[in-house]
């Protein structure tokens, strides 16, 4: 039985390069929702040049970034690619949003034809399109009890999934991966990639708690129930987004 205080260590990958549209709010949601349940949290900002050891962290997060920042972030991710793959194979939860989602895939072909190699945690590839997808998104999630997910997308990259990746959500309104196949994001094991900013987790506390639960289960190798929280305000924000016009 677990008696010592529970603790989670979160790696925030390259916040200096990948942090647009309030993606930092996702880290705040993860750490606050853990702390409100008396789970100790340490957030480590991984900076350019840092070496990652997969064993040191329980959960990984990376935000979105514009193409210029993505060039720099791609190099950093590649340097730590082996350890990040090892973390994925250990079932550690990882959430990558937009720019980092693209770089968690096989490659991202930019609008000026630069091929940025990704770390291939997800079997996806992305090519810049000539249309920008901007707006609110409502998606359906089939692995959570509350099935709606809301967010905000802003990307020109169009992502296609290979056989090893499953779509994370299904698009109800908005564009998602490519505007064509109604898929949004991708999943492999506990690696989650999505185009949804928002920030995503404050407005979808059920998804935030799912990630925390995975992190605890994987770390402590047993089921640790998460105490319920009063999410009235969070779901007010969630509902407001569902009603918002695209």
- Asked whether position 53 contacts ligand GLN by CB under 6 A, the answer is no
Cα distance between residue 87 and residue 54, in whole Å: 5
Task: Name the one range near ligand GLN by CB under 6 A: 35-43, 58-66, 82-90, 235-243.
Answer: 58-66
Paired strand residues for 11: 44, 60
With CB under 6 A as the contact rule, the residue among 15, 64, 118, 174 that binds ligand GLN is: 64
- Asked whether position 156 contacts ligand GLN by CB under 6 A, the answer is yes
Quick one: 125 or 155, whose CB is closer to ligand GLN?
A: 155
Quick one: 34 or 98, whose CB is closer to ligand GLN?
A: 98
Cα distance between residue 235 and residue 228, in whole Å: 14
Quick one: 138 or 178, whose CB is closer to ligand GLN?
A: 178
Q: How far is the CB of 98 from ligand GLN (least distance, A)?
A: 3
Q: Structure tokens of 53?
A: 């050891």
Give the residue carrying structure tokens 């967010």. Answer: 151
Q: How far is the CB of 64 from ligand GLN (least distance, A)?
A: 3
Interface with ligand GLN in residues 95-154 (CB under 6 A): 98-99, 154
Interface with ligand GLN in residues 184-243 (CB under 6 A): none
CA within 13 Å, CB half, 92: 24
C-alpha distances in Å from residue 131, one per residue of 111, 154, 174 = 11, 11, 13
Q: How far is the CB of 75 from ligand GLN (least distance, A)?
A: 16
Q: How far is the CB of 169 from ligand GLN (least distance, A)?
A: 17
Cα distance between residue 62 and residue 104, in whole Å: 10
Going by the DSSP 8-state scheme, the letter that residue 245 receives in this structure is: -
- Asked whether position 66 contacts ligand GLN by CB under 6 A, the answer is yes
Cα distance between residue 79 and residue 119, in whole Å: 9
Residue 31, SS3 per DSSP: helix
Q: Is 98 a catalytic residue?
A: yes
CB atoms closer than 10 angstroms to residue 104: 31
Catalytic-labelled residue, pool 197, 206, 208, 238:
197
Interface contacts to ligand GLN, rule CB under 6 A? 20, 64-67, 70, 98-99, 154-157
Enumerate the active-site residues: 98, 197
């Amino acid at each position: 039985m677990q008696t010592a205080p529970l603790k989670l260590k979160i790696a925030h990958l390259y916040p200096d390069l990948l942090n647009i549209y309030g993606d930092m709010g996702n880290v705040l949601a993860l750490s606050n929702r853990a702390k409100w349940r008396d789970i100790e949290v340490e957030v480590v900002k991984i900076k350019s040049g840092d070496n990652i050891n997969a064993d040191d962290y329980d959960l990984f997060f990376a935000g979105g970034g514009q193409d210029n920042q993505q060039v720099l972030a791609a190099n950093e991710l590649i340097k730590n690619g082996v350890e990040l793959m090892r973390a994925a194979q250990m079932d550690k939860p990882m959430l990558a949003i937009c720019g980092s989602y693209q770089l968690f895939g096989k490659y991202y072909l930019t609008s000026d034809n630069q091929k940025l190699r990704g770390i291939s945690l997800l079997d996806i590839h992305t090519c810049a399109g000539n249309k920008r997808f901007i707006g609110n998104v409502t998606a359906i999630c089939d692995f959570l009890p509350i099935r709606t997910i809301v967010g905000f997308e802003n990307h020109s990259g169009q992502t296609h999934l290979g056989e090893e990746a499953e779509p994370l959500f299904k698009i109800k309104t908005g564009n998602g991966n490519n505007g064509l196949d109604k898929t949004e994001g991708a999943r492999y094991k506990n690696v989650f990639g999505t185009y949804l900013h928002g920030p995503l987790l404050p407005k979808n506390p059920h998804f935030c708690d799912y990630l925390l639960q995975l992190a605890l289960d994987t770390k402590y190798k047993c089921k640790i129930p998460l105490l319920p929280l009063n999410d009235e305000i969070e779901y007010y924000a969630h509902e407001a987004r569902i009603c918002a016009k695209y």
